[in-house]
């Protein structure tokens, strides 16, 4: 299968998987998408979901990448990668959530970042030195750092906004060492993302240095996120006997929601989506008004959603044939202010004994407000946001042993001004 830029409507410049994955961002500034969207056999998908998440993921990955990888090699990698549970739970007043935070870094980003790390190895992409650039608003950086830690031939540069992520999120990036190079940027996530995009747009620099991205702009990060929608659907169907669930997606850079839209176009019978945001409500505002108005992000307790110019909005439009009204018809929007996030965290604990991280709390609040059959995605383990939860509930979230170990290790990061020249100088010398 070939891959094209979201801006290449004439399909004039196709790329192989290896080329698209290693470029990250298309030369014209667009995001790579597949030339066609394969259709899943839902009966087979439901049977494989009953075996394991890895079995289902192997089948779905083969629909896209069967011509690029040996299927047995892929399945071996996925069996090792997806060795953790992906449970659908009942929370609060009969609401279902798909818990996506039981992986190695306790966040949903493990699904895509781990997949990209394994497939990069199978592509032989690290045979020559490769620098992976990742801007993070919280969980992406730790998942990418874990997925590529000590991979031969790969250096990982992670940019995060200084003072705007949780302590444990920072520990997960700054305690690994080796080939992981964290940069704490004086600015916001939007500044971090801008630096990565500006470097990719610098063609002379890219001729001197082999770089790619592991943000959700990279199709090897984005496409595998579609697979857990299938798994959640199969579990929800088994639990309820219902059909066409509405999925509530806590959203920041919108790779997660764009992946759900991809799954739906693969034949997954979903009833639609709710784009659940904090006060950085660029997409819910667009759904409400028809006006897309990117703007500087605002800091909130749900820091991974503090994105004012979401990259994957372009993919969402592409999935709707470039028609904004079609996109608006597929989505509902929900905005949750800081007070509502804290109130939801408190209510879930006080009434139901359930700790929820701030992002998943936005999902629960949206699910309750929309009140349609379906489930919401829980995107991060509450232990990663213990400071926020304890300040609200007065109760301490038990710290997972693997996270506690990180807090005892030496931490290292370097400061960086939100300046392209300084960023390029750092990358050139990694």
In this predicted structure, the answer to whether residue 351 has a pLDDT above a threshold of 90 is yes
| Intrachain domains 71-108+221-393 and 129-209+401-429 with the same fold | yes
Whole-Å CA distances, 171 to 168, 182, 228, 271, 404:
5, 10, 27, 39, 10
- Is the torsion defined by CA of 180, 186, 189, 194 positive or negative? negative
Q: Which residues contact 274 (CB under 8 A, 6 or more apart)?
A: 246, 247, 248, 249, 331, 332, 333, 334, 366, 367, 370, 376
Q: With bands split at pLDDT 50, 70 and 90, how would you rate the model's confidence at 24?
A: confident
In this predicted structure, the answer to whether residue 128 has a pLDDT above a threshold of 80 is no
Compute the average pLDDT of residues 355-366.
Answer: 97
Concerning whether 109 is annotated as a catalytic residue, the answer is yes
* Segment 235-264, tens digit of pLDDT: 999 999 999 999 999 998 899 999 999 999
Predicted TM-score (pTM) of this structure: 0.90
Cα(320)–Cα(331) distance, integer angstroms:
11
The radius of gyration computed from the CA coordinates of the chain, to the nearest angstrom, equals 20
CATH of domain 129-209+401-429: 3.40.50.1100
Q: With bands split at pLDDT 50, 70 and 90, how would you rate the model's confidence at 46?
A: very high
* Segment 406-426, tens digit of pLDDT: 778 888 999 999 999 999 999
Helix residue ranges per DSSP H, 124-250: 139-148, 167-174, 189-201, 203-208, 219-222, 227-240
Q: With bands split at pLDDT 50, 70 and 90, how would you rate the model's confidence at 12?
A: very high
Share of the chain above pLDDT 90, in %: 71
Compute the average pLDDT of residues 76-96.
Answer: 94
* Segment 49-82, tens digit of pLDDT: 999 999 999 999 999 999 899 999 999 999 999 9
In this predicted structure, the answer to whether residue 138 has a pLDDT above a threshold of 80 is no
Q: State the pLDDT at residue 280.
A: 95
* Segment 371-387, tens digit of pLDDT: 999 999 999 999 989 88
* Segment 292-308, tens digit of pLDDT: 999 998 999 998 898 99
Compute the average pLDDT of residues 350-378.
Answer: 96
Cα(419)–Cα(198) distance, integer angstroms:
10
Q: With bands split at pLDDT 50, 70 and 90, how would you rate the model's confidence at 126?
A: low
In this predicted structure, the answer to whether residue 122 has a pLDDT above a threshold of 60 is yes
Q: State the pLDDT at residue 139.
A: 73
CATH of domain 71-108+221-393: 3.40.50.1100
Q: State the pLDDT at residue 40.
A: 98
Least confident of 23-37, 77-91, 135-149, 330-344: 135-149
Cα(160)–Cα(249) distance, integer angstroms:
23
Compute the average pLDDT of residues 322-350.
Answer: 97
Q: State the pLDDT at residue 125.
A: 58
Cα(208)–Cα(306) distance, integer angstroms:
33
Compute the average pLDDT of residues 151-170.
Answer: 88
* Residue boundaries of the structural domains of the chain: 71-108+221-393, 129-209+401-429
Considering 22-26, 124-128, 164-168, 236-240, the range whose residues carry the highest mean pLDDT is: 236-240
In this predicted structure, the answer to whether residue 146 has a pLDDT above a threshold of 60 is yes
Q: Which residues contact 367 (CB under 8 A, 6 or more apart)?
A: 95, 97, 248, 274, 374, 375, 376
In this predicted structure, the answer to whether residue 344 has a pLDDT above a threshold of 90 is yes
Query: E-strand spans in 251-294?
Result: 272-277
Compute the average pLDDT of residues 111-132.
Answer: 82
In this predicted structure, the answer to whether residue 127 has a pLDDT above a threshold of 70 is no
Catalytic-role residue among 109, 164, 197, 384: 109
Whole-Å CA distances, 68 to 1, 47, 221, 232:
8, 25, 16, 27
């Amino acid at each position: 299968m070939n891959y094209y830029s979201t801006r290449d409507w004439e399909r004039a410049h196709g790329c192989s998987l290896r080329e698209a994955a290693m470029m990250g961002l298309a030369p014209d500034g667009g995001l790579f998408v597949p030339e066609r969207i394969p259709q899943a056999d839902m009966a087979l998908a439901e049977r494989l979901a009953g075996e394991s998440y890895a079995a289902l993921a192997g089948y779905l990955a083969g629909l896209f990448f069967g011509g690029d990888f040996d299927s047995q090699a892929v399945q071996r990698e996925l069996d090792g990668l997806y060795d953790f549970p992906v449970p659908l739970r009942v929370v609060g007043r009969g609401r279902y959530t798909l818990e996506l935070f039981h992986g190695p870094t306790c966040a949903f980003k493990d699904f895509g970042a781990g997949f990209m790390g394994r497939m990069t190895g199978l592509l032989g992409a690290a045979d020559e030195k490769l620098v992976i650039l990742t801007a993070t608003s919280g969980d992406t950086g730790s998942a990418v750092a874990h997925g590529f830690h000590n991979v031969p031939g790969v250096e990982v540069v992670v940019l995060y906004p200084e003072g705007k992520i949780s302590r444990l999120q920072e520990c997960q990036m700054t305690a690994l060492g080796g080939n992981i190079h964290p940069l704490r940027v004086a600015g916001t996530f939007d500044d971090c993302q801008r630096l990565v995009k500006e470097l990719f747009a610098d063609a002379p620099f890219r001729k001197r240095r082999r770089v790619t991205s592991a943000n959700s702009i990279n199709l090897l990060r984005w496409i595998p996120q579609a697979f857990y929608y299938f798994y959640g659907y199969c579990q929800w169907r088994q639990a309820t006997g219902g059909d066409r669930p509405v999925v509530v997606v806590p959203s920041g850079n919108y790779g997660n929601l764009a992946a759900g839209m991809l799954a739906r176009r693969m034949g997954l019978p979903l009833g639609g989506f709710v784009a659940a945001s904090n006060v950085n409500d660029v997409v819910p505002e667009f759904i409400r008004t028809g006006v897309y108005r990117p703007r500087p992000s605002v800091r909130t307790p749900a820091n991974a959603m503090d994105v004012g110019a979401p990259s994957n909005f372009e993919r969402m439009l592409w999935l709707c044939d470039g028609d904004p009204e079609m996109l608006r018809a597929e989505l509902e929007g929900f905005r949750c202010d800081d007070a509502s996030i804290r109130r939801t965290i408190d209510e879930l604990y006080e009434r139901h004994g359930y700790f929820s991280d701030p992002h998943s709390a936005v999902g629960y609040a949206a699910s309750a407000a929309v009140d349609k059959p379906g489930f919401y995605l829980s995107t991060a383990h509450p232990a990663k946001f213990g400071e926020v939860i304890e300040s609200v509930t007065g109760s301490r979230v038990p710290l997972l042993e693997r996270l506690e170990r990180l807090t005892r290790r030496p931490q290292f990061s370097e400061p960086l001004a939100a300046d392209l020249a300084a960023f390029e100088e750092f990358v050139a010398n990694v």
